[in-house]
Structure 1
Amino acid sequence: MKLVADSHIPYLKGVFEPFFDVEYLPGHLISQEVVKDADVLIIRTRTTCNHGLLHGSRVKFIASATIGYDHIDTLYCESNGIKWVTAPGCNAAAVQQWVASALVRWISSKNLNPKTLTIGIVGIGNVGSKVVTLGNALGMNVICCDPPRAEKEKITTFVDFHELLKVSDIITFHVPLTRVGKYPTYHILSEKNLALCKPTAYLLNSSRGGVIDETALIHFLKQNPKADVAIDVWEYEPQLNMELAGLSLVATPHIAGYSLEGKVMATKMVVDAVSRYFNLGITPWWPMPNPLTEKQVIGSAENILDIIGKTYRIESDDVRSVTKGFEDYRNTYNYRRDFTG
């Protein structure tokens, strides 16, 4: 059997060679020609798995080392007997850390007291739940919005999205990118919805680029010079909207989830999934040696804001100061340690 894997997924090389004929390629080079005789794909978001890639292939299993799955045509896979899995929650702590650092930068620049602020969190899944914990730790007033979860679990404490936009000083998005269904998230932050936000709002997006209408956001920022944004995901990746970046307090190249812990867990989850599906007997798997056994030491800290600042300085990843291109920067990123390490 043949397995095709993204060459930029860490710790993967050598794992499946005893079981498969393995081919490694950068994600954007995994093509229909490459996968036509493959049984397994191990990918990231740069490989779009749809009819164009999969038609005529013998692929039966796709494992994505990512939280999201908008790069996988799930309906096509399910109708063609292709099993697909992702790595939900693998880098939730890393994204929490990115949000924390973005908050510290904004709070420090404005000389604000976190205890006077309301943070609105849109999407209360693996990542959003950790951001709830962060907001509470900072003493903020935390409000949550997650219509699908509220409906499914009969949660009455979540608020309406429009109400959240109106009352929040900080609004952060942690949702999948969906275009259909009862609660689509594509351009959920539209021109109409931006008009509901405070003129001093701080908007953060580390979920998916298409969640925010970038053109509308640029207009909002120009009309409201006291507003700020922190952007990690871009609507037309790998192309970045440099006009939006220029108006942003924080602008990073889709690396919010790029911690050592997150990458190890993502690889572990896809390896375990492939092992279970094909009964390889290598579950539970960990890289050897396991890089997570060495813990980080941050020294002394006066308060939680100081601790956050010592673990990660978000300005070091600003797209306006890096010399590498979007893909090169992500593919050669020096994984930071997150709060779990």
Structure 2
Amino acid sequence: MVTAADIKRFALLSYSTSDVADWITGWFDDRDLQFVVNQCTTEDQAIETAKGAQVIWIHGSGRCLTENALAAMPDVVAIIRSGSGTNDVPVDAATQSGIIVCNTPWATAQAVSDLTVGFIIIADRRIAWHDRRMRENKWTEMDNLPIGAIPGKTVGLVGFGYIAKAVAKKLSGFDVNLLATDPLVDADEMAKLNVTKCELDHLLTESDFVSLHCPLNDHTFHLINADALARMKPTAKLINTCRGPVVDEPALIHALRNGVIAEAVLDVYETEPPAPDNPLLKMENVTLTPHLGSHVQDFLYHFQRASLEIADDLIHGRWPQSVVNRAHVKPIVAWK
């Protein structure tokens, strides 16, 4: 049985010491906790940095915390991943070892949901297309017109976590019909935000905008494949602000080239950054941004503050706000 009193050392694997703000170091000092930092890029560096640590903290994407590395960290009882995605964390291996895996999706919810709503408007009004025409000295006020205004259209949310819920709240003033699919969220919870729960197939066939908000895992890899795209309306727009590999990119390119769907607005890609010869970069019915969904000026502070909220929960024997494997691991017992 692990108690909160057993947690004495934290290891941050994705920063150099000079990049860690004084207030973070002070947070650990004030609680008499050991805190080690290293910008790890290899398994060996991660293992060395994590020696004796009970909690591993990683910030952003990285590949140093592998299943092999985790197996060489016998003292670890919890992992904190700043941000929403845990596809760069060996969640299954951690779960098998009883290690709690936490993330901070609420820290990114407002910024990413802002971008998502912006993408819906950009796609509906063809703003990026007209911007390109204007820069070519072409006046195109009557060209490429939207099919009606946004009110009355249907937005389908694939996944219904913190970000999707924030999107639903922000779209409440647009008079849209909201659908969502998520096996972990019941219909009553969705109904509180005037969202109708449905199966993925129904969402794809009915939605004018399909917006992706699910985690990347074995179940969601290429969830949006050729078959899924074929179920969408030919006038539909696909929006992806979650993870690139949720979409089968070659299938998406084919669908966009052949009128299977009308448009895509993407912040994430199967390979980041995309290769210079990626066809998406030259397609007129695609709008692209460089994985900036969570990147507002103070996003690092919010990421770090949320991560320390989790750390505080752990050292006091409380379940953190977001534990991705909570159903399969035991809690850390409060220190008496």
Same fold by TM-score greater than 0.5: yes
Counterpart in 2 of 1:273? 310
1:36–1:54 Cα contact (<8 Å) kept? no
Q: Give, in whole Å, the separation in 1 of the partners of 2:62 and 2:254.
A: 32
Residue 95 (structure 1) aligned with residue 112 (structure 2)? yes
2:270 partner SS: coil
- Return the alpha-carbon distance in structure 2 between the equivalents of residues 115 and 258 of structure 1: 29
State the match for 2:78 in structure 1: 61
Question: Offset at 1:158?
Answer: 1.1
Distance 1:15 1:24, change over 3 A: farther
1:4 alignment counterpart: 12
Corresponding residue number in structure 1 for 2:38: 24
1:84 corresponds to 2:92: no
Q: 8 Å contact 2:123–2:265 — kept in the other structure?
A: no
1:145: how far off? 2.0
Give, in angstroms, the shift of residue 85 of structure 1: 1.5
Contact 1:186 1:212 in 2 (8 A): yes
State the alpha-carbon separation in 2 of the partners of residues 251 and 189 from structure 1.
18
Match of 2:290 in 1: 253
| Offset of residue 50 of structure 1 | 2.8
Distance 1:275 1:158, change over 3 A: closer
The 1-side partners of 2:95 and 2:198 are apart by 34
User: Counterpart in 2 of 1:169?
Assistant: 208
Matching residue of 2:322:
none
Deviation per CA, 1:259-304: give whole Å up to 9, x if none. Answer: 2454333211211222343469xxxxxxxxxxxxxxxxxxxxxxxx
1:35 match:
47
Q: 1:50–1:76: 8 Å Cα contact kept in structure 2? A: no
- Provide the C-alpha distance between the structure 2 equivalents of 1:214 and 1:269, rounded to a whole number of angstroms: 32
Q: Using a 3 Å threshold, how does the CA distance of structure 1 residues 37 and 141 change in structure 2: closer, same or farther?
A: closer
**Aligned AA (1:44):** H
Higher mean displacement: 170-179 or 67-76: 67-76
The answer for the alignment partner of 1:211 in structure 2 is 246
Percent identity, aligned pairs only, is 23
* TM-score, structure 2 as length reference: 0.72
Tell me the SS of whatever aligns to 2:88.
Answer: coil
Provide the C-alpha distance between the structure 2 equivalents of 1:264 and 1:274, rounded to a whole number of angstroms: 15
How do residues 107-146 of structure 1 correspond to structure 2 at under 5 angstroms?
107-109=124-126, 110-111=145-146, 112-146=148-182
Residue 170 of structure 1 deviates from its aligned partner by: 0.8
Gaps of 5+ in 1: 281-341
Deviation at 1:94, TM superposition (A): 0.6
2:59 paired with 1:44: yes
Contact 1:44 1:65 in 2 (8 A): yes
Equivalent residue for 1:235?
Answer: 270
1:47 Cα shift? 2.3
| Range that drifts further, 211-220 or 79-88 | 79-88
Cα offset for 1:172?
Answer: 0.4
- Does the 8 Å CA contact 2:10/2:57 hold for their aligned counterparts? no
Change (3 A) 1:231 1:188: same
1:10–1:206 Cα change, 3 Å: farther
CA shift, 1:186, in A, is: 1.6
TM-score, normalised to structure 1, is 0.71
SS of equivalent residue, structure 2 residue 217? coil
Shift of 1:15: 3.7
Deviation at 1:150, TM superposition (A): 3.3
- How many aligned residue pairs are there? 274
Higher relative contact order (CA closer than 8 Å, sequence separation 6+): 2
d(CA) in 2 for partners of 1:154 and 1:253? 30
Residue 274 of structure 1 aligns to a residue in which SS?
Answer: helix
- CA 1:17/1:31 → structure 2, altered by over 3 Å: closer, same or farther? farther
Change in 2 beyond 3 A, CA 1:276/1:116? closer
Range with bigger deviation, 61-70 or 209-218: 61-70
- Residue of structure 2 in register with 1:263 after alignment: 300
Match of 2:92 in 1: 75
Please name the residue that 1:106 is paired with. Answer: 123
CA contact (8 A) 1:66 1:88 kept: yes
Cα 1:265/1:117, change in 2 over 3 Å? same
Query: RMSD across aligned C-alpha pairs, in angstroms?
Result: 3.0
Q: Which amino acid aligns with 1:53?
A: A
Residues in 1 aligned to 2:190 and 2:11: alpha-carbon distance in whole angstroms: 42
> What letter matches 1:24 in structure 2?
N
In structure 2, the gaps of 5 or more residues are 1-8, 127-144, 318-336
